Structure 1
Amino acid sequence: MVIESKFRKLFCIRIGIGLFLFLLILSFCVNGLKNPDETTKQSLIPAFVVLFFIIYLSIDLFKDFTLKIMENGIEKTSLIFRTKQFIAFDSISSLNKQKTRLRSTRGINITDGYHYSILQFKNGNTLIISPDNFENYTEIIEAIKSRIE
């Protein structure tokens, strides 16, 4: 049985909003450079700051991936470049669960947090699988657990 990862709707919405804001601010900056006047010059600096901040945040998209759990291993496909990597189940040494907490600047927990899973490989590498990205996170983890035990 093959299980394919499904992205959460919120994950896709977040990417869509980021892309929309990037294109909107980019068009504002290009228009401001083509038609310079005094009010546009003053607003270009914050626009470029926001544009660079969105670019900085989008670097995480290069780390995102899809998973396909098969009988003999896991196929990890990069979201942006579509490169595939095959991970055999016998190369996995353990599956650990950790909890993340969201804290405020004063050190107070904002939420109770959530659990994510870390696949430890025999060569020392790790792979983090987060429920923040995948709608069928529990199904993926249960399938991996059943095949490495």
Structure 2
Amino acid sequence: MLWLHNIFMGKNSISLIRAWVRYDEAMNAYNQLLRRQFQISGLQLAILRMVAEHAPLRLRELRSQLSLHPATLGQAVDSLVKKELLERYADPQDARGRVVAVTASGKELIAAAPLAGPVRIRYAPEDAEKYERLEHALNELVELFGLEPWSK
């Protein structure tokens, strides 16, 4: 009977791998479209959308919302400022702080770009039970794939 169990487990693992490959290919294709059509990454678009929701937004607040390494966020914001999609200026309430806001060009890009990827969850009707299942599944995936050493 162990052989029968192994056959079914093999089918489940193959299905999981197929689902992961499908997800990975879809995200890669989406990010390629963003780079080709808009010259930005998925992370940069997510940053634009979040800043647009809360503009003006302190960089410190944006960093805590995204849980990004400061250098990663800094590079993404620098690129968006250089492309004139974001503006960055001194925080009027804290001279050491910086604030970002979306420019008119950034707003146009947000309106034209497809709403996909993880940031889409922020705009979909909330389904707490589904979100909880997905969070659990993604955390388990990191564990199953042996990716803990590279996760936060």
Please tell me whether Structure 1 or Structure 2 has the larger radius of gyration of its CA atoms. 1
The bucket for the TM-score relative to the shorter chain is under 0.3
Q: Normalising by structure 2, what TM-score?
A: 0.26
Q: Normalising by structure 1, what TM-score?
A: 0.26
**Hey, which of these two has a bigger chunk of strand by percent?**
1
**Hey, which of these two has a bigger chunk of helix by percent?**
2
Higher relative contact order (CA 8 A, sep 6+): 1
